[in-house]
């Protein structure tokens, strides 16, 4: 089948999930075209790793701002609609596969006119995400209004051929919107075994050789639970010589400043390091340097129905993992035995879990080995992507009337 993926973003930087899905479908015998945005100096068309890129939409700063406000009230965008129409016509697309909720409406509109099925690939609970990604109460009451985005989601998902979600808890949520369970396919956001081939940067691992490193890798925002992690530092430094909390990420300057001020008030600035955003290839070196890896997300409707890629990266290389008690995180840890979980809003409970790993070599070894074994058995992309391949088998049978 000739699959037309739609992504309202740019590549590069890499979009790991989108590229993994595309390559899996190519390996299964499909042809994958990817429509996305074009940045200054980027080639309009190219092929990389078998994916046929078309950078068919140029937004620009003013256009993006205009889109943000008009789209959030109408859920329509004429520029994207025209680009999708041309994409389908010029590339001979047979199925539209749209990533994330916003552009599903435009894909469905073009699909209906052309007689094409649409797959809605929901990376997360988007209406709930808007409530935690932004701090402006005015925006959350207006352009990112939860009720309006939820009504849009419920309505538009009735019109797609299939829905892809990242975790079982998300399937339960979408089923609750009235979508038949048979239309929903769970494709967890696991790591690929191929990532193990990326070399380790010894300048990074050597930097932390004499420290007990607790690391977090990812975006900075209030819903990530990083404030609770910093609040646990005074309890940890008393018991762990050479402790370092290394936060790898950023892209939220206001929240980074807040964490720095919080650490200063707790007299822990000397044991906190925030590296800023790092290239993907460097991430593995920070993981390698870590003694404990964290996913400390605060609980809310968004984090309770999604799961980050990094938990599986940690398990891949056998690092002890400590997560909050968000249901998907807790379930994976309980199933794999690859770590411990704590009450999401309790710094002392987080500190206790980290201390138990630090003080018990037997526990550290057991959960490290269990997490690694579970990754190799069932939490790697080759295994979890089978549902994606099955989706397209089912879709082909339906289109052929079988």
CATH of the domain at 340: 3.40.50.2000
pLDDT value for 196? 58
Q: Which residues, 6+ apart, have CB-to-CB distance to 236 below 8 Å?
A: 214, 243, 351, 354, 355
Same-domain pairing of 202 and 242: yes
CA distances from 7 to 55, 107, 249, 303 (A): 10, 11, 23, 22
Total domains in the chain come to 2
Same-domain pairing of 179 and 197: no
Residue range of the domain that includes 103 = 2-187+385-399
- The CB-side HSE value for 149 (13 A sphere, CA atoms) comes to 21
Same-domain pairing of 174 and 263: no
321-324 and 339-342 beta bridge pairing: parallel
Question: What is the spatial distance between Cα 245 and Cα 250, in angstroms, rounded to a whole number?
Answer: 14
Same-domain pairing of 175 and 227: no
Q: Which of these, 164, 159, 56, lies nearest to 112 by C-alpha position? A: 159
Do the beta carbons of residue 92 and residue 69 sit within 8 Å?
A: no
Same-domain pairing of 158 and 254: no
Same-domain pairing of 353 and 252: yes
Same-domain pairing of 35 and 121: yes
Same-domain pairing of 198 and 183: no
Same-domain pairing of 368 and 219: yes
pLDDT in tens, 297-330: 999 999 999 999 999 999 999 999 999 999 999 9
pLDDT value for 320? 97
Q: Give me the mean pLDDT over the 348-377 stretch.
A: 97
pLDDT in tens, 376-385: 999 999 999 9
Q: Classify residue 291 by its DSSP letter.
A: S
pTM here? 0.93
Question: What is the spatial distance between Cα 333 and Cα 378, in angstroms, rounded to a whole number?
Answer: 13
Number of neighbouring beta carbons within 10 Å of residue 292? 22
Do the beta carbons of residue 338 and residue 374 sit within 8 Å?
A: yes
Q: Which tokens hold the place of 243?
A: 């402790």
Q: Give me the mean pLDDT over the 339-360 stretch.
A: 98
Same-domain pairing of 179 and 72: yes
Same-domain pairing of 268 and 348: yes
Adjacency order of strands within the sheet including 95-99? 45-48, 51-57, 31-37, 2-6, 95-99, 118-121, 162-165, 184-186
pLDDT in tens, 248-296: 998 788 899 999 999 999 999 999 999 998 988 899 999 999 999 999 9
pLDDT value for 64? 87
Same-domain pairing of 106 and 181: yes
Do the beta carbons of residue 310 and residue 295 sit within 8 Å?
A: yes
- Whether residue 299 is preceded by a cis peptide bond, meaning omega within 30 degrees of 0, is no
Do the beta carbons of residue 143 and residue 75 sit within 8 Å?
A: no
């Amino acid at each position: 089948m000739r699959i037309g993926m739609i992504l309202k973003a740019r590549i590069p930087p890499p979009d790991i999930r989108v590229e993994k899905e595309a390559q899996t479908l190519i390996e299964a015998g499909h042809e994958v075209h990817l429509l996305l945005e074009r940045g200054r100096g980027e080639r309009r068309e190219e092929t990389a790793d078998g994916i046929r890129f078309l950078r068919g939409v140029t937004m620009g700063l003013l256009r993006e701002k205009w889109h943000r406000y008009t789209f959030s009230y109408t859920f329509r965008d004429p520029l994207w609609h025209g680009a999708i129409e041309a994409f389908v016509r010029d590339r001979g697309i047979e199925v539209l596969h749209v990533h994330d909720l916003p552009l599903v409406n435009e894909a469905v509109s073009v699909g209906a006119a052309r007689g094409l099925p649409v797959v809605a690939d929901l990376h997360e609970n988007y209406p709930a995400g808007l409530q935690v990604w932004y701090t402006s109460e005015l925006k959350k009451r207006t352009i990112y209004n939860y009720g309006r985005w939820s009504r849009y989601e419920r309505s538009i998902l009735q019109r797609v051929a299939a829905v892809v979600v990242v975790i079982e808890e998300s399937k339960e949520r979408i089923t609750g919107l009235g979508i038949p369970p048979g239309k929903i396919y769970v494709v967890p956001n696991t790591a690929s075994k191929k990532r193990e081939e990326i070399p380790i940067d010894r300048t990074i691992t050597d930097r932390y050789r004499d420290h007990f490193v607790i690391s977090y890798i990812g975006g900075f925002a209030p819903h990530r639970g990083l404030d609770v992690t910093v609040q646990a530092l005074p309890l940890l430094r008393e018991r762990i010589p050479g402790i370092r909390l290394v936060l790898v990420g950023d892209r939220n300057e206001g929240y980074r400043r807040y964490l720095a001020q919080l650490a200063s008030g707790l007299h822990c600035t000397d044991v906190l390091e925030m590296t800023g955003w790092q290239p993907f290839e460097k991430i593995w070196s920070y993981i390698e340097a870590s003694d404990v890896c964290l996913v400390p997300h605060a609980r809310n409707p968004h984090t309770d129905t999604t799961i980050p890629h990094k938990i599986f990266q940690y398990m891949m290389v056998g690092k002890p993992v400590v997560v909050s008690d968000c249901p998907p995180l807790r379930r994976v840890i309980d199933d794999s035995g690859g770590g411990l979980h704590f009450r999401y809003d309790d710094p002392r409970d987080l500190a206790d879990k980290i201390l138990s790993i630090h003080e018990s070599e037997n526990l550290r070894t057991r959960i490290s080995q269990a997490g690694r074994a579970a990754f190799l058995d069932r939490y790697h992309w080759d295994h979890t992507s089978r549902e994606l391949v099955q989706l397209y088998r089912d879709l082909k049978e339906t289109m052929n009337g079988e």
